[in-house]
Amino acid sequence: MCSTSLSVPAVILLSKILFKLKHNAIVLTLQKVLVVLFLFHSFFCVFPQSFNVRKDIRPQIIAHRGDSFQMPENTIPAFELAIEKDVDFVETDLVLTKDNVFVCFHDLTLASGTDIRSHPEFAHLRVLLKNITYDDQVFTIEDDWLISDFTLKELKDLRVITHNQNQLKYSSFSIPTFDEFMETVRRESLKRFLNGNKNPIGIMPELKHPSYFNALANTSNFMEKLFIKNLVKYGYSINITEENNLKSGCEYELKSNVLPCNPLVVQCWEQGTIVYFYESAKSLRLLAVLWVNNVEFLTWKGMARLEGKTEFVGLSTEFLLDGAETAVENAEPKVVYDREKIKELGGFIPKEEIVSYVERLGMKVAVYTVYPETEREEIEYFIGMGVKAIFVEGLERAAKIRDEYFTKWNNKLK
């Protein structure tokens, strides 16, 4: 029954397909059978021998764009709810407005995530057809609006919209600034602190497309430097060690309580930004996000290039469930890459070895993103592989599944 841990990806795939078809009664029955089978499988096989589990290291739970399952992603209510649910880190995406203010938003364009189409006063900023370049790739913008053409004041007239059917009632939120994000985090951290929870909530901002914003400003590392200025404003001392960081500059006083700064990990998909921070902001904790456009880093020699430069490597669930090569082959839009180069770099790292290899290089794997329909199977599988941080949606259960896993583990040791 439990001879192969490789059956887990198959179960997860099947659950996902069934989840999408869930209104059918036969499917519901099938799903129940699958759950029973999986629980049976878990009972015997949750600790596959081939994976080297460290019982003392619980992966950190990261709230993907706040509590984006309950609330529109990257809004203040989403951040507030995530903090209430006691996750380890709250994640947000950051882009820059025309007047260079950091705002929490995922896209460079506004049509999909805001009500811009019902604002005729911004018709003059509409982009009919334009190519923009970032991360060495060309992207075509068609009938849309670029966030970088809007000042903060203009952006604040828009409302965030969501495509999640359960969230349609929330239509009045604006795009928050990074300052508003930080104020929320501090206010909620104080509440936690006063309630006796001494673990400060961590934050994980992601700089989106620095090469695009740096080119707009015609200044190298413009976005990175501006971001560091923002962090310094919040008391983070960027150039000293984390330990000193907590003791010295990084404290703030609220109602006579002195709280330490919130743990901070900065993420980016552009590896140039990771290297820049590594070289010029030594004490920043970093997470280098890899996706199919970073194919070279998914090889033995490519991954080794990140050694020592970043604390975390962000890998997508596909890399761990299907393997990097399959994920790259299946990518939409199609990824063109140099097969000879991949061979020279030692080939793609197989899915069974990628987490332990990253660990051997002294880094940790953060996996993105686990959704509620497959959370138990995936969270247990990833912990078994040695993953140290998990981006999740549907926060209620993720930490519980993780903690139950370790309770089972400890009982097994007794």
Ligand X SMILES: *[C@@H]1O[C@H](CO)[C@@H](O)[C@H](O)[C@H]1NC(C)=O
Q: Is 182 in the site for ligand X (CB under 6 A)?
A: no
Question: Could you give the 3-state DSSP secondary structure of residue 128?
Answer: strand
Per DSSP, helices labelled H in 236-374 are 242-247, 271-280, 300-304, 317-321, 324-330, 339-344, 351-360
Task: For helices 222-233 and 271-280, give the axis angle rounded to 10 degrees.
Answer: 50
> Binding mask 302-331 vs ligand X (x if CB under 6 A, - otherwise)?
------------------------------
CB of 4 to ligand X, least distance (A): 44
Instruction: Check: CB of residue 386 under 8 Å from CB of residue 54.
Output: yes
125-133, 146-154, 341-349, 378-386 -> range binding ligand X (CB under 6 A): 125-133
- Residues 260-289 touching ligand X, rule: CB under 6 A, are 280-281
Pick 138 or 258: Cβ nearer ligand X: 138
Q: 182: number of CA atoms within 13 Å, CB side?
A: 20
CB of 278 to ligand X, least distance (A): 11
Instruction: Determine if the peptide bond prior to 369 is cis (ω within 30°).
Output: yes
Q: Is 165 in the site for ligand X (CB under 6 A)?
A: no
Decide: residue 66, CB within 10 A, 0-12 exposed, 13-18 middle, 19+ buried.
Answer: buried
Pick 140 or 256: Cβ nearer ligand X: 140
Instruction: Determine if the peptide bond prior to 75 is cis (ω within 30°).
Output: no
Q: Is 128 in the site for ligand X (CB under 6 A)?
A: no
Pick 138 or 413: Cβ nearer ligand X: 138
CB of 312 to ligand X, least distance (A): 20
Decide: residue 317, CB within 10 A, 0-12 exposed, 13-18 middle, 19+ buried.
Answer: buried
Which tokens hold the place of 37?
Answer: 């089978």
Q: Is 239 in the site for ligand X (CB under 6 A)?
A: yes
Distant-in-sequence, close-in-space partners of 294: CB < 8 Å, separation ≥ 6: 269, 271
Residue from the set 3, 140, 165, 256 that interacts with ligand X by CB under 6 A: 140
d(CA 132, CA 339): 27
Pick 195 or 218: Cβ nearer ligand X: 218
Pick 266 or 281: Cβ nearer ligand X: 281
Pick 230 or 239: Cβ nearer ligand X: 239
Instruction: Check: CB of residue 368 under 8 Å from CB of residue 317.
Output: yes
d(CA 306, CA 220): 21
Element (H, E) at 336: none
Which tokens hold the place of 402?
Answer: 């993780």
Residue from the set 129, 258, 336, 413 that interacts with ligand X by CB under 6 A: 129
Which tokens hold the place of 269?
Answer: 């998909």
86-94, 127-135, 241-249, 263-271 -> range binding ligand X (CB under 6 A): 127-135
CB of 214 to ligand X, least distance (A): 11
26-34, 123-131, 327-335, 394-402 -> range binding ligand X (CB under 6 A): 123-131
Q: Is 218 in the site for ligand X (CB under 6 A)?
A: yes
Instruction: Check: CB of residue 312 under 8 Å from CB of residue 277.
Output: no
Residue from the set 8, 238, 274, 365 that interacts with ligand X by CB under 6 A: 238
Q: Is 104 in the site for ligand X (CB under 6 A)?
A: no
Q: Is 250 in the site for ligand X (CB under 6 A)?
A: no
Q: Is 131 in the site for ligand X (CB under 6 A)?
A: yes
Q: Is 138 in the site for ligand X (CB under 6 A)?
A: yes
CB of 182 to ligand X, least distance (A): 18
Instruction: Tell me the β-bridge partners of 93.
Output: 206
CA distances from 103 to 107, 176, 249, 289 (A): 11, 6, 25, 20
CB of 412 to ligand X, least distance (A): 46
Pick 211 or 239: Cβ nearer ligand X: 239
- Residues 7-36 touching ligand X, rule: CB under 6 A, are none
Whose tokens are 């962000």? That residue is 314
1-9, 99-107, 124-132, 181-189 -> range binding ligand X (CB under 6 A): 124-132
Give contact residues for ligand X (rule: CB under 6 A).
129-131, 138, 140, 218, 228, 238-239, 280-281
